[in-house]
């Protein structure tokens, strides 16, 4: 392999990118747009659940319970009701996702120290949100009940008992429990995988469709020189995208970056090389820009988004799917990104994922070179 011929192919590809604003836009502007879109729109946080209250008691105690709900960051008051029909209508119209029904005897029973039940109605059409809202409601009611018991003890003149067990939760690595702190690093991996494969999926197929491949075949150019030469410009674009994404993650989305920048960009370079080579492989095998781009989208976006652990926990997947996830390189890169961004760990912890990414990159480059043949059929 001669560096001069490789450089000539790379220069030709650079000129093509510069003369084609669509390729340059897809390579630079599209990743920024996707990161902004998914970074703001995609969230797993459940806050400010719209709540409608039917207070049949009308006592200070019942109003305190309603205030305990609406005063928390988890619920927001969407209105009041005087019948179940109004509750049904509010939930059907999506004006409320939850309804709190306080019975008429609530105030009297609480003053007398008798147990009393309140009802929480949830819209179960979104099972995940309903389950989280139910957990929030249980926590609010538990705190209200504890305060009511302590207040009754103090009124009786007795000393309030001390809690035998006190739990002080400390959250490591994501203290605010903000979903964007682990979603944004994962999005970087998914977007890089998709964009890289799409960019290079058009390169060799374009030469075949335009009739330029016959001319390249007649030259002393080797397959390795063609593949690496065409990869070089898009590798530079991909690293530029990675730089922009890292800056956006820290300064736009406030995601902490606690680990090594050298390790971050080193692993990104390895992952990017493998993703680019995968797209090149699709282009070499299909010899059609349309087929290669469609294959690149199907084989990169869906597995990277669904089976990498970004959106769904791998441990909760069926056993056959868990085995498939080991073939998804985005799984290892997302694990690396979360470790570097949130935990600040290095290769002493992430060495296995780093080795697997190296194997992925080397395998894709080797397959792309071996699949390219300098012949017409």
Q: By the 8 A CB rule, do 332 and 356 touch? A: yes
| CB contact set of 255 (below 8 Å; sequence gap of 6+) | 180, 181, 184, 185, 249, 341
Report d(CA 360, CA 269) in Å as an integer: 12
Question: Could you tell me the two tokens for 143?
Answer: 């705190």
pLDDT 10s digits, 51-108: 999 999 999 999 999 999 988 888 999 999 999 999 999 999 989 999 999 999 998 8
- What is residue 348's predicted lDDT score, i.e. its pLDDT? 94
Q: How large is the average pLDDT for residues 119-133?
A: 90
CATH topology of domain 49-155: abc type-2 transporter like fold (3.40.1710)
- What is residue 155's predicted lDDT score, i.e. its pLDDT? 74
Any idea where the domains of the chain sit in the sequence?
A: 3-43+178-371, 49-155
Q: For the chain, what percent of residues have pLDDT higher than 70? A: 96
pLDDT band at 160 (very low <50, low <70, confident <90, very high): low
Q: Where are the beta strands (DSSP E) in 303-370?
A: none
| CB contact set of 221 (below 8 Å; sequence gap of 6+) | 5, 9, 374
- What is residue 25's predicted lDDT score, i.e. its pLDDT? 76
Return contacts of 241-247, CB within 8 angstroms, 24+ apart: 241/27, 241/28, 241/31, 241/32, 241/191, 241/192, 241/195, 242/188, 242/192, 242/268, 242/272, 244/28, 244/31, 244/32, 245/31, 245/32, 245/35, 245/188, 245/191, 245/192, 246/188
Q: By the 8 A CB rule, do 52 and 98 touch? A: yes
pLDDT averaged over every residue in the chain: 87
pLDDT 10s digits, 81-93: 999 999 999 999 9
Q: For the chain, what percent of residues have pLDDT higher than 90? A: 46
Q: By the 8 A CB rule, do 306 and 226 touch? A: no
Distance set, CA 197 to CA 110, 200, 275 (Å): 64, 6, 6
- What is residue 227's predicted lDDT score, i.e. its pLDDT? 87
Torsion of CA 140, 146, 149, 154, to 10 degrees: -120
In the predicted structure, residue 374 carries a pLDDT above the cut 70: no
Question: Could you tell me the two tokens for 91?
Answer: 């939930």
In the predicted structure, residue 215 carries a pLDDT above the cut 90: no
pLDDT 10s digits, 276-312: 999 999 988 888 888 888 888 888 888 998 899 888 8
Q: How large is the average pLDDT for residues 348-374?
A: 91
**226 vs 276: which has the higher pLDDT:** 276
């Amino acid at each position: 392999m001669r560096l001069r011929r490789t450089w000539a192919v790379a220069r030709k590809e650079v000129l093509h990118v510069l003369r084609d604003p669509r390729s340059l836009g897809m390579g630079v502007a599209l990743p920024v747009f996707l990161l902004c879109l998914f970074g703001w729109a995609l969230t797993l946080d459940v806050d400010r659940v719209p709540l409608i209250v039917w207070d049949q008691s009308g006592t200070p105690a019942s109003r305190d319970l309603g205030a305990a709900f609406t005063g928390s960051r988890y619920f927001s008051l969407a209105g009041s009701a005087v019948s179940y029909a109004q509750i049904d209508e509010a939930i059907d119209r999506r004006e409320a996702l939850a309804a709190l029904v306080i019975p008429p005897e609530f105030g009297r029973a609480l003053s007398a120290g008798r147990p009393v039940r309140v009802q929480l109605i949830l819209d179960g059409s979104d099972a995940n949100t309903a389950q989280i809202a139910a957990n929030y409601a249980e926590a609010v009611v538990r705190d209200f009940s504890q305060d009511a018991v302590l207040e009754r003890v103090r009124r009786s003149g007795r000393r309030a008992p001390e809690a035998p067990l006190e739990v002080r939760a400390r959250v490591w690595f994501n203290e605010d429990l903000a979903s964007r702190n682990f979603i944004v690093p994962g999005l970087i991996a998914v977007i890089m995988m998709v964009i890289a494969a799409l960019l290079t999926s058009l390169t060799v197929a374009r030469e075949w469709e335009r009739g330029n491949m016959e001319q390249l075949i007649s030259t002393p150019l080797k397959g390795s020189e063609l593949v690496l030469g065409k990869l070089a410009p898009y590798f530079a674009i991909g690293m530029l995208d990675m730089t922009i994404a890292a800056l956006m993650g820290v300064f736009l989305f406030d995601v902490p970056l606690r680990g090594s920048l050298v390790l971050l960009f080193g692993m990104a370079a390895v992952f990017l090389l493998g993703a680019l080579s995968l797209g090149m492989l699709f282009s070499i095998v299909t010899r059609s820009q349309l087929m290669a781009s469609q294959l690149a989208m199907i084989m990169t976006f869906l597995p990277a988004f669904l089976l990498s652990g970004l959106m769904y926990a791998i441990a909760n997947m069926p056993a056959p799917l868990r085995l498939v996830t080991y073939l998804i390189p985005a799984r290892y890169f997302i694990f690396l990104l979360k470790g570097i961004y949130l935990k600040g760990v290095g290769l002493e912890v992430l060495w296995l994922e780093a080795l697997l990414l190296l194997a992925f990159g080397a395998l894709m480059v080797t397959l792309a070179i071996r699949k390219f043949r300098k012949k017409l059929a």
